[in-house]
Amino acid sequence: MIEKTVLKNGIRAVYEKMPDCRSASVAVWVKSGSVYEAEKEHGMSHFIEHILFKGTKSRSASKIAAEMDDIGGNLNAFTSKECTCFYAKVLDEHIEKAVDIISDLILRSKLDAGDIEREKGVVTEEILMNDDSPEDVANEGICSLLYEGCAVAPNILGTADSVNAFTRQSLIDYMDKRYRGGDTVISVAGSFDKAKLDAMLWDKFGAMRAGVGEERIPSAIGAGGRVAFADRDAEQAHICIGMPGFGANDDRRFAMLVLSNVLGGCMSSRLFQRIREERGLAYSTYTYPTSYAETGYLTAYAGTGLANAAKVTELILSELASARKDGITKTEFDRAKEQMRVSYILSSESTSARSSAIGKAELLLGRAEEEARLIKKLEAVSMADVEGILNETLDPNNMCAFVAGKTAGMDTRAIERLIKG
């Protein structure tokens, strides 16, 4: 059962006890992500996530690491388009220490000017490293292309220019806007005493300012038929074809999960069998759905030799067209649902996965659902539900493509013709 407490400053705490666990996973979720950033702030949410680990008024960076090592715990953080999350997994007897350290990072960071300058170099190297991975470039690029001109489009990391323009004051100003009680959720899953945690969380996080930041402007996928290329010194073409999907607030996303699994979610999927097993044209090919709060998309990916880029693009489109025209089989449907059901059940055994699921849902959707309810929603998906999304999702007129690799070795015009129809 999921329980919820709202602290006096608006922070929402959501709890899920997991019997027979000795561990507890604690996560602090903040509405601080790239969708909230102005142009001059691109990459700031991610940069702040980095810099908060560089030391607080009472702990150096090395002391933070040592204290977590002393209790055998794990501490980390990540930034996404819609949020930043700081999380720890510890034995239940050490939960107070984990809460104390995370609150110290968020509320009492030094934001030292020297650390900020050094971290600019670290994040710039991360940007360059990401740019050196054509597969990452393609997968990020298809999102930016689909949502061109919208808040979802910019890269989470920002650019070298935007990052190097950050100042200590600009970071403080941004945190003042985004790190507010009404925009923060603390999620705990595993073994814990709720009454003690309620008191502990107020003691450690009561100093966070109340209120909420500005809401983002909703994003929508643009027109189909657009194609973009990223010229990289790579001997493979990394092809991403993107198409409309569903947001996390739309229960049709469960039908999308089933469809994605059939198309490219496993070794028996259509793309894997057709492109890799039958034709030997790719080592890696897959599909995956992405759901933000109010919008989403489906991506089909394949990595292939440059000379085969147009052919593989054609094969992907052919499989998508076949599914749209003829639907999926009962065998494919049953297999996909069972794989997804098992995946949900296995994740429900992990305190980290449950803390993540309930925290993110509470932050972005305003509600945290038990795993059993999510499994019921998945089990309720019918063949008709999947067929009901085929026309809209797999409409070739709504598709865009982003291809990364050495463009001189590809037939780029053929790829453009295939996507533009």
Segment 312-362, tens digit of pLDDT: 999 999 999 999 999 999 999 999 999 999 998 888 889 999 999 999 999
Q: Is the pLDDT of residue 82 over 80?
A: yes
Side-chain-facing half-sphere of 61: CA atoms under 13 Å: 11
* Percent of the chain residues past pLDDT 70, beyond the cut: 100
Residue 402 near residue 242, CB atoms below 8 Å: yes
Identify the residue whose tokens are 């239940």: 92
| Total structural domains within the chain | 2
* Residue 28 domain-assigned (yes or no): yes
CA 28 vs. chain centroid, Å, equals 16
What backbone phi and psi angles, to 5 degrees, belong to 139?
-70, -35
Same domain, 238 and 176: no
Give 55's contacts (C-beta < 8 A, 6+ positions apart): 61, 64, 109, 110, 112, 115
* Residue 331 domain-assigned (yes or no): yes
Average pLDDT rounded to a whole number, residues 152-160: 96
Task: Give the DSSP H or E segment for 106.
Answer: helix 95-107
Same domain, 231 and 179: no
* Percent of the chain residues past pLDDT 90, beyond the cut: 94
Phi-psi region of 294 (alpha: psi -120 to 50; beta: other; left: phi over 0): alpha
Identify the residue whose tokens are 């995956």: 288
Residue 306 near residue 340, CB atoms below 8 Å: no
Same domain, 109 and 24: yes
pLDDT digits (tens, 9 = 90+) for 125-144: 999 999 999 999 999 999 99
Residue 296 near residue 242, CB atoms below 8 Å: no
Residue 245 near residue 290, CB atoms below 8 Å: yes
Give the span between the Cα atoms of 215 and 204, in whole angstroms.
26
β-pair type (400-405, 84-91): unpaired
Q: Where are the alpha helices (DSSP H) in 108-193?
A: 113-131, 134-146, 160-164, 168-178
**pLDDT value of position 216:** 80
DSSP lists the bridge partners of residue 27 as: 87, 187
* Residue 43 domain-assigned (yes or no): yes
Starting at the edge strand found earlier in the chain, the sheet holding 236-244 runs: 227-231, 400-405, 236-244, 296-305, 284-291
Identify the residue whose tokens are 């657009």: 226
Q: What is the CATH number of the domain that holds 301?
A: 3.30.830.10
Give the span between the Cα atoms of 41 and 156, in whole angstroms.
11
Same domain, 151 and 37: yes
Residue among 16, 49, 67, 416 flagged as catalytic = 49
Q: Is the pLDDT of residue 220 over 90?
A: no
Same domain, 234 and 304: yes
* Residue 219 domain-assigned (yes or no): no
Please give the mean pLDDT across all residues of the chain: 96
Residue 349 Cα distances to 13, 20, 191, 370, 380, angstroms: 21, 10, 13, 12, 22
Q: Is the pLDDT of residue 372 over 90?
A: no
* Residue 108 domain-assigned (yes or no): yes
CA 227 vs. chain centroid, Å, equals 24
Same domain, 198 and 314: no
Same domain, 173 and 120: yes
Same domain, 193 and 326: no
Same domain, 373 and 321: yes
* Residue 214 domain-assigned (yes or no): no
β-pair type (12-17, 84-91): unpaired
| Closest alpha carbon to 152 in 283, 15, 36 | 36
β-pair type (227-231, 400-405): parallel
pLDDT digits (tens, 9 = 90+) for 374-404: 899 999 999 999 999 999 999 999 999 999 9
Q: Where are the alpha helices (DSSP H) in 348-382?
A: 351-365, 371-379
**Burial (CB count within 10 angstroms: exposed 0-12, middle 13-18, buried 19+), residue 82:** buried
Give the span between the Cα atoms of 244 and 253, in whole angstroms.
11
Same domain, 254 and 194: no
Domain final position from 205, 240, 262: 205
Domain final position from 172, 205, 238: 205
Is 49 labeled as catalytic in the residue annotation? yes
- Of the given ranges (37-51, 362-376, 396-410), which has the lowest mean pLDDT? 362-376
Starting at the edge strand found earlier in the chain, the sheet holding 184-190 runs: 2-6, 12-17, 184-190, 23-30, 84-91, 74-79
Task: Give the DSSP H or E segment for 325.
Answer: helix 309-326
Same domain, 110 and 148: yes
13: domain range?
Answer: 2-205
Give the span between the Cα atoms of 16 and 407, in whole angstroms.
50
pLDDT digits (tens, 9 = 90+) for 167-193: 999 999 999 999 999 999 999 999 999
DSSP lists the bridge partners of residue 299 as: 242, 288
Give the span between the Cα atoms of 100 and 26, in whole angstroms.
11
* Residue 375 domain-assigned (yes or no): yes
Same domain, 67 and 11: yes
